[in-house]
């Protein structure tokens, strides 16, 4: 049995959301499994450098349009969130808490968070929104508190982000299979060729 495909995503990334609708099916076609790994970009990465890139407003206008067009292209339900770029630490902590105990349930949580953000336009940085999702999944208030605010839960997320960084992850979505890195859902055809034919 081959190792799982690591799927890194930030809950605030439209591209991560679009990839989340595809990666499991792609893996399944090749008899592979996927490990979902929530990370938080910006916040924790150490090795940041300042480099020149074009006007970020121009770029974000482009990305807004591109994400909508891409979702249409792939037939994925999508609506640009009002608060694009929401803080995702809380959601990521809860995700890992649930996922460490029950992977499938963690994935269910992730999908609900993404739907809340990218379909229902809810603010996933809000405790109320995350609380409602947890409640729907019958996660107790006590467990939710532990998952979202416990020091162990904070350390858990930090370790995940540190590991991602050590492995050379710098965007969302990001895939690693047999040590090979693929950045962006537009690299899924290249990843699929890797799965079917091996290294190239």
Say whether residue 170 binds a second copy (CB under 8 A). Answer: yes
> Nearer Cβ to a second copy, position 156 or 187?
187
CA distances from 183 to 13, 57, 148, 187 (A): 13, 23, 28, 6
Burial of 36 (0-12, 13-18, 19+ CB in 10 A): buried
Quick note: the x/- pattern for a second copy over 68-107, rule CB under 8 A, is -xx-xx----------------------------------
CB 133 within 8 A of CB 116: yes
Please work out, in degrees rounded to the nearest 5, the angle formed at the alpha carbon of residue 131 by the alpha carbons of 126 and 134. Answer: 135
Min dist. Cβ of residue 196 to a second copy (A): 12
* Count, residues near a second copy per rule CB under 8 A: 35
CB 88 within 8 A of CB 17: no
> Nearer Cβ to a second copy, position 136 or 180?
180
Min dist. Cβ of residue 107 to a second copy (A): 26
Quick note: the x/- pattern for a second copy over 114-153, rule CB under 8 A, is ----------------------------------------
Say whether residue 200 binds a second copy (CB under 8 A). Answer: yes
Q: How far apart are CA 197 and CA 160, in angstroms?
A: 30
Q: How far apart are CA 192 and CA 169, in angstroms?
A: 19
> Nearer Cβ to a second copy, position 56 or 104?
56
Q: How far apart are CA 162 and CA 154, in angstroms?
A: 12
Quick note: the x/- pattern for a second copy over 36-75, rule CB under 8 A, is ------x--x-xxxxxxxxxx-xx-xx--xx--xx-xx--
> Nearer Cβ to a second copy, position 79 or 189?
189
CB 24 within 8 A of CB 178: no
Q: Look at the block and give the residue holding tokens 């047999």.
A: 178
Contact set with a second copy (CB under 8 A): 42, 45, 47-56, 58-59, 61-62, 65-66, 69-70, 72-73, 165, 168, 170-171, 181, 183-184, 186-187, 189-190, 193, 200
């Amino acid at each position: 049995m081959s190792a799982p495909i690591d799927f890194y995503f930030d809950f605030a990334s439209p591209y991560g959301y679009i990839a989340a609708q595809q990666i499991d099916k792609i893996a399944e076609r090749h008899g592979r499994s996927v490990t979902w790994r929530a990370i938080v970009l910006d916040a924790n990465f150490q090795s940041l450098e300042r480099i020149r890139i074009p006007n970020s407003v121009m770029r974000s206008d482009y990305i807004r349009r591109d994400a909508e067009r891409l979702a249409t292209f792939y037939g994925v339900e999508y609506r640009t969130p009002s608060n694009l770029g929401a803080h995702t630490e809380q959601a990521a902590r809860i995700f890992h808490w649930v996922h460490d105990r029950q992977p499938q349930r963690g994935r269910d949580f992730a999908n609900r968070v993404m739907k809340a953000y990218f379909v229902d336009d809810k603010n996933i940085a809000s405790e109320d929104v995350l609380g409602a999702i947890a409640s729907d999944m019958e996660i107790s208030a006590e467990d939710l508190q532990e998952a979202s605010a416990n020091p162990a839960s904070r350390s858990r997320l930090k370790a995940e982000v540190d590991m991602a960084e050590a492995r050379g992850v710098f965007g969302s979505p990001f895939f690693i299979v047999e040590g090979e890195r693929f950045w962006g859902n537009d690299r899924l055809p290249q990843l699929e060729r890797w799965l079917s034919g091996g290294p190239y």
